[in-house]
Amino acid sequence: MDLNKDILWVFSHSNPSSIPSYVFSGILPADYLNIQKVIFLKDHDPKEILTRFNPKLIIINKAMHTNVINLARTAKELNIKVISIFDDWYFIKPEGKRTKLRFIDNLKLSKYSDNIVVKTKSAADIIYKHTGFRAKIIPDCVRFEPHMPINKISYPFTISWFGMDTNHDTLEFGIREILEYDFVANIKIITNKLDKIRSKLSNLNLKNISLEFIKWNELMDKEVITTDIVIIPYLNDHKRLVKSYNRITDSINLGRFTIISDLNHLRKFNNFCFLGNIGKGLKWSKENNLLAVEKAKKGFEYVNKNYSVATIARDWKNIIYQNIKW
């Protein structure tokens, strides 16, 4: 099998590299395996694309429009195998109109897929519960070059938070937990839609906390490594339950001490992060500096072993070979 000729990795957005989940779960493993990539937009002709590339298998990253369903259906008609990746497929009741449409579209795409892939076991369990589909689990790989772990945590705290605007509510939640304690800290906020997050946080009495707002960019790791700590607060809701671990693994891979909320599906990181109230985690790191550094170092080794591009690309290679006979 020639992975470059026989496999086609499909992105349904005009600028895939601007979508973090596309980078983690598509661009990096595809490049590592030398798999050809294509942008497929809502006005593109499915048959023309498939005829031009003539693949034996297509991998469809998170669908951004309904023409992706037509692509999968056409692929099946042409006897081309289909693997679909699902991000954020959550189920709530009562469902809003947008959620219902997402469910219907994802369900259609699933039925045309030979395999569906999700990032975590909790996401796979939820999909099986609601649809009966058994998903394969391939986590996101780390996206940055590793950076040696910190050797101490300084005070006042230097903290970073990064994420897209869909997670702005979690940042406000985390800062409120920090404000339960009287810490001096600078927090770098790396995100899109800066005006939106500035407005959201403007009602907080920040006391001794200063905020620095940085527009999200592909070199954001250079900002993160200027801080000792990354905070990743989570809300305990249906959306966060199916999220990838990629912000956690990226933070650990960059050698930072990482504080995350204590949710059941995140406890696999208990030996490598502080799990719990974000403010309490800062207090613990201040009182247990050496133990915090040890967690960061152990986590760095764990993530490099289990979430490197090479490791995740091997998982992809295995599922590709399972779907195509030599």
Is 53 in contact with 3 (CB distance < 8 Å)?
no
Residue 257 inside a domain? The answer is: yes
List the domain range (segments joined by +) for residue 225. Answer: 157-306
Q: Which residue has the higher pLDDT, 95 or 35?
A: 35
pLDDT at position 54 over 90: yes
One domain for residues 257 and 313: no
Looking at the structure, do residues 292 and 181 belong to the same domain, yes or no?
yes
228 belongs to a structural domain: yes
Report d(CA 63, CA 86) in Å as an integer. 8
97, pLDDT greater than 60: no
8 contacts: CB under 8 Å, gap ≥ 6: 35, 36, 37, 38, 53, 55, 57, 58, 59
Q: Are residues 167 and 128 in the same domain?
A: no
Instruction: Give 48's pLDDT tier (boundaries 50, 70, 90).
Output: very high
Residue 149 lies in a domain: no
Q: How far apart are CA 168 and CA 162, in angstroms?
A: 10
Q: Is 31 a member of any domain?
A: yes
CB atoms under 10 Å from CB of 309, counted, come to 16
Residues 174 and 216 in one domain: yes
Question: 206 and 130, same structural domain?
Answer: no
In a domain, 148, yes or no: no
17 and 133 inside one domain: yes
- Helix, strand or coil, per DSSP, at residue 317: helix
Q: Residue 38 is part of a domain; what is its CATH number?
A: 3.40.50.2000
Residue 157 has, within 13 A of its CA and on its CB side, a CA count of 32
Query: Quick check: is 59 in a domain?
Result: yes
Number of domains in the chain: 2
User: Does one domain contain both 118 and 12?
Assistant: yes
Hey, what's the torsion of the CAs at 72, 97, 139, 229, to 10 degrees?
A: 150
Residues 111 and 223 in one domain: no
Pick from 140, 177, 170, 106: which is nearest to 253 by CA?
140
Q: Is residue 131 part of a domain?
A: yes
Name the β-bridge partners of 118.
137
Residues 283 and 315 in one domain: no
Q: Are residues 130 and 42 in the same domain?
A: yes
277 and 171, same structural domain?
A: yes
Residues 188 and 64 in one domain: no
Q: Could you read off the pLDDT of 106-160 as tens digits, one per residue? A: 889 999 999 999 999 988 988 888 888 899 999 999 999 999 999 999 999 999 9
